[in-house]
Amino acid sequence: MTHTNGRRRVVVTGQGVVTPLGTGVEKFWAALKKGECGIRQVQSFPVEDLYITIAGEVPDFDPRERLKSKQLILADKYSQYAGCAAQEAVIMSKLEVPLKDSKAYRAACIIGSGVGGLTTLEFSYKMLFKENKRATHPLTLLKAIGSSASAHVSIEYSIKGPTFGVVSACSTATHAIGLTYRMIREGLVDLGLAGAAEASLNWGATRAWQAMRVLSPDGLWPFAKRRNGTVLAEGAGILMLEELEHAKARGAPILAEVMGYGMTADAADMVNPSIDGASTAMQMALDDASLAASDIDYVNAHGTATAVNDINETRAIKRVFGNAANKVSISSTKSMHGHCLGAGGGIEAVAVVKAIGEGFIPPTVGLDEPDPECDLDYTPNVGKSRGVSYAMSNSFAFGGLNAVLVFGPPPA
């Protein structure tokens, strides 16, 4: 079955996550529904000389227990997170792997990262400049580069079609999913693993973020009057996307349909977001999906809890949705899992697919008193049951790099 314009339809047949709320989709979703928060005091590096001492760290992740691939066990943590999330997505999709013959060339693996193996680089610089070592670990380069995760996963499942990483800061995963959706829709491939991973929580990165004055020392409270910055986090979110007839022919589970994708650049400022760029990306995604804003039941907001971003996103939603803005349910799940940077859009896409499948809106926690300029329904503190046919996921990154996805229910 195709759309009336003849393009191929794209569905989600599997998904996987690694998050500060736990590893695995069901554990992650259960925590979102309960309004749990994965932001805690940092455990993985010393914070004595930092004023930012909280983060969304992934708990209890042992790559030797989680991963089958020996190559991934030797990889950077961001690749390990990607490998774990991809593994869950593949198992859920019931795809027979490794792929063989021509099928291998009809599959894509687009897995990005905002910064790649940053912890590997910090460790290497410490060896060279502090400990005066003569060389770094021989795998340093391979562990650090931003395409390593996609390469590792493609090797694991013998994916021989388009395989590369995407880098667009906090829009990375959403761009990766959108590009894979377009590849499948336009006939370049039949299926693909898409998303992003991030594992950049370390002393050096925190010092760099501190210098920008955008981090909160207390917590991440999107749209709240008391919000005072975002909180860094790590993890991975990966979707298995597939052409509808291909999925049906092999009896794959169909979780949702990718309906539309929009992407823009503000071309204005590296830090301060633009209402024009965000609203245009949202409208493009709706147009691509052939939907009206009033058709959307849920928006997973970018919602970083920075002063300017939350107000601008509110204004952008109002511009696109018009009178329907007061009827749509909105939440920022970052309030629970933190800002997972490049991986955020992948993790949030999983939340959107689950919201459609279960008819439940996860909350925005910590929203005790809203900012008067953020006056929409942000589902404060407690999630709620609501039929969700169509949902939108927003990602608006530093540099004014915007990406928006629209998902719908599994085709009848």
* Residues involved in catalysis: 170, 302, 339
CB 197 within 8 A of CB 212: no
